Amino acid sequence: MERISITTTVRAELVEAGALTCAGLRQAQAERSWLVRAEEFDAIKGPIQFNA
């Protein structure tokens, strides 16, 4: 099972915005270190953006 990391607060905000995708999470993982299962977000569509 693939593990991807993300903070609970950021994850909740992105889920509410409908902005999480597996591809987006993989991109985020390359930039930072967070914690979630990718398959939880398989059905959610849209871009993902992080402000550093």
pLDDT, tens digit, 9 for 90 and up, residues 11-43: 666 665 555 666 666 666 655 544 455 555 554
For residue 52, the SS3 value is coil
Q: Can you give the pTM of this predicted structure?
A: 0.21
For residue 49, the SS3 value is coil
How much is the pLDDT for 27? 67
For residue 22, the SS3 value is helix
How much is the pLDDT for 33? 47
